[in-house]
Amino acid sequence: SRRGAGVYVTDQLRAGIASPWGQLVADHPALRDDILEFRRVLEGATAYFAALRADANDRRRIRALLRELEVAHANDDRVVEAATDAKLHEAIALASRNTMFLHLHTSVLGMLREHISINVSGMTEQDDDASDLLLRQHRVVCDAICAHRPEEARTAMQTHIDYVRSHFERSGGA
């Protein structure tokens, strides 16, 4: 065997997957509806399993991110609010303890994170009440997960995604 030959482990696959998705969404804004449909199914199931499987550390992380979201909201810091929103969705995916959900979430994480940030920023800039409602929805999702109520967690997450979707349909953005 010669020096430099062999198998290398790299994180480039993740970047390679996320980048084309991000570009596709940027080139075709009408794909937002498809993304929201995908998120509704994936994140609803993820919230369900997070409610079943979250341990004390997961619940602490979820509650801490919810508090960060509340602070960003109170400070009217939309950039931090959008970033924290995406981190909260990621923490819920981690708490699901499902390898396939984690893989799907991770493989399209950049696109989902970008999509969530675009949604939150766009919605709250257009409608101050949207930010209040999104925060309330996140509280319901987090409360259901932390109380180990899977059906309620799934329904709350689907309601959250449905609200985002209907907001964009009403505003002509979907």
112-153 pLDDT tens trace: 666 555 555 556 555 668 889 999 999 999 999 999 999 999
CATH, residue 132:
1.20.120.530
**Is residue 14 included in any domain, yes or no?**
no
**Is residue 115 included in any domain, yes or no?**
yes
Number of domains in the chain: 1
| Residue 119, domain extent | 29-171
**Is residue 56 included in any domain, yes or no?**
yes
Comparison of pLDDT for 68 and 83, the residue scoring more: 68
| Nearest CA among 111, 73, 112, 68 for reference residue 89 | 112
Kindly write down the DSSP assignment for every residue of 73-135, as one continuous string.
HHTT-HHHHHHHHHHHHHHHHHHT--HHHHHHHHHTHHHHHHHHHHHHHHHHHH-HHHHHHHH
- The span from the CA of 150 to the CA of 158, in Å, is 12
**Is residue 7 included in any domain, yes or no?**
no
- The span from the CA of 149 to the CA of 54, in Å, is 11
**Is residue 17 included in any domain, yes or no?**
no
**Is residue 13 included in any domain, yes or no?**
no
**Is residue 165 included in any domain, yes or no?**
yes
pLDDT of res. 20: 63
pLDDT surpassing 50 at residue 27 = yes
pTM (predicted TM-score): 0.78
**Is residue 91 included in any domain, yes or no?**
yes
